[in-house]
Chains A and B, each alone.
Chain A
Amino acid sequence: MYKPFAITLKPGTSLANMTGTWRTERPVYLNRLPPCNNACPAGENIQGWLFHAESGNYEQAWRVLTENNPLAAVMGRVCYHPCETACNRGQLDSSVGINSVERFLGDEAIKRGWKFDAPASSSGKRVLVVGAGPSGLSAAYHLARMGHQVEIQEAGPLAGGMMRFGIPKYRLPREVLDAEVQRILDLGVTLKLNCKVSSIEQSMKDGRFDAAFLAVGAHIGKRAMIPAGDAAKIVDAVSVLRSMEGEDKPLLGRRVVVYGGGNTAVDVARTVKRMGAEPIIVYRRTRDKAPAHDFEIEEALQEGVMIKWLSTIKHAGDSSITIEKMALDDKGFPQPTGEYETLEADSVVLALGQDVDLSLLQGVAGLEIVNGTVQVAPNMMTGHPGIFAGGDMVPSERTVTVAVGHGKKAARHIDAWLQGSSYQPAEKHELAEYGKLNTWYYSDADKTVRPMLDVIRRQTSFDEVQGGLDESTALFEARRCLSCGNCFECDNCYGVCPDNAVIKLGPGKGFQFNYDYCKGCGLCVAECPCGAIKMEPEET
């Protein structure tokens, strides 16, 4: 069309007008560290795998998850999920049920028979892993995926460590554990059972190993000095739980007193309850001071476990014990009151923690042992070059997840060490704090409650207590994730820019700023729900 002079203009020609020059600040995309990821001892990319779960791509979600942790189904049952405590959504309504989605993914993987990708290449290096607990398995998994030849030597008859010989079945069914262990072995990891390492240096030499990762856990039950009669039956919790896995179930009688306030004490009490006994936990402090997680105490109480708070055992006889009442002083420490009570007791189970069996380290030069644990450098290497250690045997919080995290971390450093270099972890992104989010945009949705087995069955069987989510509830739960600090392609920036200065690159590709036109108003930053954009001063 002929365009009459001046009053008629061609469409869209304002592109000639570069309004980007108005800007004093520019928006930039960034990834912030979600608090869940930050809190996960295994270093999982939780937000990352939830992202895939949100779209129902569970396999991809599981694959992203297992990049950091091979034991999704186990984790989804036994992890104490510090991620959920840190989860930003907790400040909005209730935290995302990360752990239950993790379990769902782990179970899906077992159900569908998903396997790990085989390592691309082989390094020719041999690594010995001592102990097939979570730490050892995790290290083996990562090392195998890096292409190293891995052999696990395990003293026990089965793999799993405390996951098998500590944690009771009703919390972790053994099929689940077996499946996840097998999947690691399928990567080509050699597992030698009933193979106790008595000298690490010898074993390394014998097997011509280039490096070793020690993860023997802490299995020696701590003893307390309890004046006891000859007939008194006093056993330690770890052996009780271990014997649950064997043919000969422990004979503890009807009235079983469990001494201690940790998770192990609760596990033992709940286990013997299921065997028909009447357990009483005796603990010297109060419920809120007990190291056991409150939900475990609650579940135990529901199942009929009795608990005597603020009590110590003064004397153990063959059919009864004497306990002394305690009172907390103003510093919160329990002090004896001189008040006594007698309880019927056929046996006493001590659940006072475990020590590490360090005998395999005898004669190894350069090691440093403090309080019965092996000291390691930040790279997980002991004082002896080539020997690394992790899990319960090093100073740390003793959880499956920490153990798995150690295994991963050690594997990375071992890999680097084998190549004569050192592993530099990527720098952590700044934290995606709650204040960085625009929570208006998230739908209101309360947490899904996981199904629980009814109490009668919990008291009488070793069936799993806590149920898992089904597809729809897992999907729901995954979608509650706020995607803290990481773009989830909600298109807000693309939409709210009054200057169309955000370019949408397409599904999975994210967005880009068109600085030719961006005026730097900051609307995209303000309206990004997850805090994945920030303003930076414009260079002059």
Chain B
Amino acid sequence: MGFQPVKFYQTGTFTIGNRLLEPDERSVQSGQARSNSINSGHRACQGCGEALGARYAIDAAMAESKGQLIAANATGCLEVFSTPYPESSWQLPWIHSLFGNAPAVATGIAAAMKVKGKTEVRVVAQGGDGGTTDIGFGCLSGMFERNDDVLYLCYDNQAYMNTGVQRSSATPPAARTATTMPVGPNPGNAFGQGKNVPEIAMAHGIPYVATATVADLRDLEYKVRRAMKMHGARYIQIFVPCPLGWGTASSDTIRMARLAKESGMFPVFEAEHGEVVGVSKIRHKIPVEEYLQPQKRFAHLFGTNGHPEMVTRMQAIADRNIRKYGLLDEEGC
């Protein structure tokens, strides 16, 4: 199971496109005919991972549904930057209702499609990590539990970005946010808190749960397309670095996602009916420092007044992920 990468064609499937692949093996994003579901002119920050991840995901869903797609969007950066009044970037039917109700709105849309016999029209809901793991969590769980025919896409940038970078239940330990400042004896976000929503989603026994990052488009597209081939409640959490909130260079967005995966800080896997069926292995394992150090939100961990013991704890988290999900190839480690 899992995405079967092309082993070798100069770049295999690591790059977005590959002129050497058979046309039917190529990615949606490499095509001139991709739908650009979020049109140019949106107001996301330079290098926004969420803008990118959303286009990746929605374009893939558009391709899989042959353009028969409706999206419900939670409040958050994505919603705000994509509808610069009086214009909209969206090229598909799209609705924004509230911060915490996107899954339920999507349920309503799916019900409407079902009752009207429009079985070809598919529904996605999407939101940030805050909208998903916190305020929208009740609606999300309800949608899961009823197994409503909705694909939920969570764009995880690990904080409430739209309101100015406050902590969410997806914020990693030690991270500085506007509400977990790097002060006091345990600077940054507390250890031992937070919510693993992919696993909670799995506990609902829904048909499909996956994680992905903007650093691996082919894997992301595969997962969206796979999810779109199924019916019932499906959940994909996409790791989308936020240059503004993380204090990283706008050109580093994809690299950060790559390092998160390669360090084991963000396990990339997929699960069906509550069981893990595939993991994206780490290709070149790196220590967590390499991932943490370029980010200003972790700056207080390093330097003369740094907190090496907290870095060690972060490494332990990564190691645990690696063990738990089997992120390293047997020989590789």
Contact = CB atoms under 8 A, between A and B. Distances in A.
Interface of A: 6, 9-19, 22, 54-55, 440-443, 445, 476, 479-481, 483, 488-492, 494-501, 504, 506-507, 514, 516-517, 519-523, 525-527, 529
Contacts of A19: 40-43
Given A14-B82, A445-B8, A22 B252 contact: no
Nearest to B89: A14
B39 interface: yes
B46 interface: yes
Given A15-B40, A442-B14, A443-B7, A499 B90 contact: no
Majority SS at the chain A contact face = loop
Given A479-B20, A494-B29, A521-B243, 12 more contacts: A6-B86, A11-B39, A14-B84, A14-B87, A442-B11, A489-B19, A491-B16, A491-B18, A492-B15, A492-B16, A494-B16, A522-B249
B118 interface: no
A222 to B, nearest CB: 47
A496 B218 CA distance: 12
A13 B88 contact: yes
Interface in B237-268: 243, 249-255, 258
B55 A498 contact: yes
B276 interface: no
Contact of A523 (B88, B92, B217, B251): B251
A479 B9 contact: yes
B10 A526 contact: no
B247 to A, nearest CB: 15
Interface string B17-48: 11110000001011010001011111110111
A54 B10 contact: yes
A442 B17 CA distance: 12
Given A55-B20, A498-B51, A514-B40, A523 B14 contact: no
B52 A498 contact: yes
A491 B14 contact: no
Q: Which of A22, A483, A522 is packed against the most chain B CB atoms within 10 Å?
A: A522
Contacts of A479: 8-10, 20
A514 B52 CA distance: 17
Nearest 3 pairs of A and B residues by beta carbon:
A491-B17, A495-B16, A522-B251
Contacts of B9: 443, 479
B169 interface: no
B52 A496 contact: yes
Contacts of A476: 8
Interface in B84-129: 84-92
B29 A523 contact: no
A491 B249 contact: no
* Residues of B in contact with A, size category: 35 or more
Nearest to A524: B251
A127 B10 CA distance: 44
Contacts of A523: 47, 52, 250-251, 253-254
B26 to A, nearest CB: 9
B246 to A, nearest CB: 14
Contacts of B88: 9-14
8 contacts: A55-B20, A443-B7, A443-B14, A479-B8, A479-B9, A500-B55, A521-B243, A526-B255
A489 B9 CA distance: 13
A495 B46 contact: no
A446 to B, nearest CB: 11
Contact of B40 (A6, A516, A529): A516
A527 B215 CA distance: 10
Contacts of A54: 10, 20
Contact of B250 (A6, A55, A522): A522
B86 A15 contact: no
B55 A520 contact: no
A15 B20 contact: no
Contact of A498 (B19, B48, B91): B48
B12 interface: yes
B293 interface: no
Contacts of A17: 41-43, 84, 87
A494 B32 CA distance: 9
Contacts of B42: 14, 17, 19, 499
Given A9-B83, A440-B14, A522-B251, A22 B89 contact: no
Contacts of A55: 19-20
Q: Which of B39, B249, B258 is packed against the most chain A CB atoms within 10 Å?
A: B39
A522 to B, nearest CB: 3
Nearest to A490: B15
Contact of B41 (A6, A16, A441): A16
A496 B16 CA distance: 8
B14 A14 contact: no
A432 to B, nearest CB: 16
A80 to B, nearest CB: 26
B11 A490 contact: yes
Given A12-B88, A14-B41, A479-B9, A529 B55 contact: no
A476 B39 CA distance: 38
Contacts of A6: 85-86
A522 B243 CA distance: 12
B36 A500 contact: yes
B8 A495 contact: no
Nearest to B240: A498
A502 to B, nearest CB: 10
Contacts of B16: 490-492, 494-496
Given A11-B90, A19-B40, A494 B251 contact: no
B173 to A, nearest CB: 27
A480 B89 contact: no
B40 A14 contact: yes
A66 B15 CA distance: 31
A519 B243 CA distance: 14
A6 to B, nearest CB: 7
